[in-house]
Amino acid sequence: ATNWIDVLASEDVPEDDVIGVDAAGKQLAIYSVEGEFFVTDNICTHGHARLCDGFLEGFEIECPLHQGRFDVRSGKALCEPLTEDIRSYPVKIEGGRVWVELD
């Protein structure tokens, strides 16, 4: 079964930046890169840091705590000290809103 959740207006995501949102009991990071949107969990897989407080460069988000980097498209962990990928979610834009498929 699909479970698409309306998380925020697409215009509320700053261009080429990241914003944190709580939706359906989850903490999510919403990224806008070159007009495309991506969503991952917001809490780093390495420690208790929020990726929305990190630094987005292209498709890579850098954790503010130990500078681990994830690819926001896949959630793939790209460097040390990360050992675990971060969960990423399907996204669609409809009616000017960002929708995320949670389960």
The footprint of ligand FES (CB under 6 A) covers 44, 46-47, 49, 63, 65-66, 68, 81-82
Buried b (16+ CB within 10 A) or exposed e, 78-98: eeeebeeebebbebeeeeeeb
What type of residue sits at position 45? T
Nearer to ligand FES, 22 or 84 (CB): 84
Q: From the CB of 35, what's the least distance to ligand FES, in Å?
A: 27
* Cβ-based nearer residue to ligand FES, 41 or 100: 41
Which is nearer to ligand FES, 32 or 42 (by Cβ)?
A: 42
Read off the tokens for 48: 């208790």
Closest approach, Cβ 60 to ligand FES, in A, equals: 13
Helices (H) and strands (E) in the chain, counts: 0, 10
Cis peptide before 81 (omega within 30 of 0): yes
The residue type of 25 is G
Q: How far is the CB of 53 from ligand FES (least distance, A)?
A: 10
Whose Cβ is closer to ligand FES: residue 8's or residue 59's? 59
